[in-house]
Structure 1
Amino acid sequence: MIDVLLTTLTISTGAIRFEELGLSPIALDLGFFQLRWYSLAYLAGIVLGWWYLMKLLGQPGAPMARRHADDMVFYATLGIILGGRLGYVLFYRPLYYLQNPIEIPQLWDGGMSFHGGVIGVTLGILWMARQHKLDWLRIHDYVACCVPFGLFLGRVANFVNGELWGRTTDVPWAIVFPDGGPFPRHPSQLYEALLEGIVLFLILWYMFWRTRARYQPGRLVGAFLLVYGLSRFFVEFFREADAQLMEFARMTHLHMGQWLSLPMILGGLYLVLTAGRRAANVRPVPENA
């Protein structure tokens, strides 16, 4: 009965069918080789992040020299890939991968966790900072300003893939996704692209370029964690829970993404509120250090 009602809703609201958008997850198909938009999103996010990081390091008071940027990008990339994959395995499908451990390295089949990627990048920054005797918290501030590029492109790629769609709805911009049944759904991937990508970038841009936040260790990365956490927590109300976590969402009344965002919100709030105490210890790093 519910299926009939929702199908009728699709017709009556004139919901957009995903196929009508003419999108394909494959950017280039040579037969023997396929290049997917999702892979390009990761690559473009890293390249744009590196470019923007170089611009930030060119400003007074930088926590590391530009020559450190290549090392930073290397460790951050490792953190994104390893942390993102292991985070997905542990947070979203632990039982499945416990039974099928050989599939854990198969990144081409999808399955990455942003929260796991955050942990991986954090560990990479800690290692890099220790190697060069740099201020790890201030490096986090600068790297945080660069992350929204990847977040925006990644969520747009999720949309192009027709995955991670939202809950059923009757809003005028609802979309019927290929694997989401005949029901109109929230394009929650685009909501996340807007909030976690564009809005978050603009907030951090203003704080870096128009305030003295970069001289207050932890304020920028704290703002990143706080705004991202709140944005993700909010959008999850419009997003369909992962199939294997439906029961978990029913039992806890929150999605896994919301539970993982709570520590980010609390940690971000703490860093923002305490950043002023650390301002007196800021020392710029000379290029030849």
Structure 2
Amino acid sequence: MIEYQAFRVELKDKVAHVAINRPDKVNAMNAAFWSEIVEIFRWIDETDEVRVVVLSGEGKHFSAGIDLQLLAQAATQMGADVGRNAERLRRQILTLQASFNAVDNCRKPVIAAIQGYCIGGAIDLIAACDMRYCTLDAQFSIKEIDMGMAADVGTLQRLPRIIGDGMMRELAYTGRAVDGREAQAIGLVNRTYADQPELMTAVFELASDIAAKSPVAIRGTKEMIRYMRDHRVDDGLEYIATWNAAMLQSADLKVAMAAHMSKQKPDFAD
């Protein structure tokens, strides 16, 4: 497995564990983070052995968001010309957006396991995941508003579909913190756990359950859910009909049916 500066990556029993690995910096997202996450999720997407991803943060906190040193560095690159500054900033923002688009566009389900701080850019990150689970003491905050800026890496675009427009506006306008219990109540996370060991045990059990399913069926299910974010119902029905015209010919269907009839656990090819 490749060594990374900002992450620790492991693959075991079809589940890739991607851990932000800067606990001494509260897992703040430095320059290496933004480039490495694209490389990691490209590898995940291209590696058939990987069926599910667990995304977590080492130490007491998931992530404190973008590294402030990175923002300070961007500020030092500004020149006298407003137009050129704007073009430079726009390119940088689009590059950061691409990092979390890599998570969102991944063909495999991505499960976020969150403890402690999940602030600013970390909200953008978990919003790009399929499912989110946290500890009761987790603290979520769209902190960009307190830094005098609008969140620009995906929170304002993805979060309304997760927690609803009104609640998203409240959190984005105020920057107030939400704990694990409220996060579950508003639908930001699926479930809460007492502490990090309990959280990680439960999340890996869930990941193992998903990894045991047909990878072709999981791929199709994720693609259809994602497609429906921006299309009408009749468009989605047309798409799944065309998709399954091919995918229902997969050997996985026969394997699943045979296992069901014999009351055995199916074993699907990667």
The TM-score, its normalising length taken from structure 1, stands at 0.25
Answer 1 or 2: which has greater helix percent: 1
The TM-score, its normalising length taken from structure 2, stands at 0.26
